[in-house]
A = this chain, B = another copy of it.
Amino acid sequence: MQLYSYFRSSAAYRVRIALNLKGLPYEYIPVHLIKDGGQQLKPEYTRLNPQALVPTLVDGDAVLTQSMAIIEYLDETHPQPALLPDTPVARARVRALAQGIACDIHPLNNLRVLRYLKRDLDLPDEARDAWYRHWVESGLLALERMLADSPDTGAFCHGDTPTLADACLVPQVFNARRLDCDLSAMPTIVRIDAACLALPAFTQAAPDAQPDAA
């Protein structure tokens, strides 16, 4: 398998975690989102990924895009260890936690959006950082309640083994720390993040551990 990735991309980070948890080797192909005016915009990449986003996973003839779709694919094709629980209700909970990050937090703080705020709206850095923190902090606070209030939360987001939800949570917490978001009201998230980062599958997927890290 080949993973088209950018070290700092949250979405690529999720897939790296999933590949590592599954013990699946892959070739790392860097796509630099800033250099060369954005390598993700070049025709040789948009042919694989018309959205011009990372990651893309190539598995034989299959070209797969969208991090959560890729992780579900990996879970279906390499079932062990499972990244989704067994029952429909539990699976829905894990997916909802993942989507609470991937649909409601991350899209508002990724690079292309921050760029639009700066370049097209000419927003001062301070207002842009406030935007960033607003969505990350309010989003993670809601997630904290979903985690803290549920008996299904264990050492990880769901039970005592990592799932799709943890693969989404850790990159988002990484981003939050990078922009000095306040995590003091989120003890459950901080605890789960630490449990994840005790596992090589997560640390080896971290941005700084990637070959294209600046």
Contacts and interface: CB of A to CB of B under 8 A. Distances in A.
Interface of A: 50-53, 62, 64-66, 68-70, 72-73, 76-77, 88-89, 91-93, 95-96, 98-100, 102-104, 106-108, 113, 116, 120-121, 123, 127, 130-131, 134, 139, 142-143, 145-146, 149
A99 B68 CA distance: 8
Contact of A72 (B77, B91, B123, B131): B91
Contact of A142 (B52, B73, B107, B142): B52
Contact of A108 (B64, B95, B113, B130): B113
Contact of A76 (B88, B98, B116): B88
A95 B123 contact: no
- The 9 lowest CB-CB distance pairs between A and B, nearest first, are A69-B95, A107-B107, A66-B96, A50-B145, A73-B92, A66-B99, A69-B96, A76-B88, A51-B142
Given A65-B96, A96-B66, A149-B50, A91 B107 contact: no
Nearest to A59: B89
A102 B72 CA distance: 16
Contacts of A76: 88, 91
With a 10 A CB-CB cut-off, give which of A65, A76, A106, A149 has the most chain B CB atoms: A65
Contact of A92 (B69, B96, B108, B139): B69
Contact of A121 (B72, B100, B127, B146): B127
Contact of A100 (B66, B73, B139, B149): B66
B96 A107 contact: no
A91 B104 contact: no
B51 A64 contact: no
A131 B143 CA distance: 27
B107 A104 contact: yes
Contacts of A52: 142
Contacts of A77: 88
B107 A92 contact: no
B103 A66 contact: yes
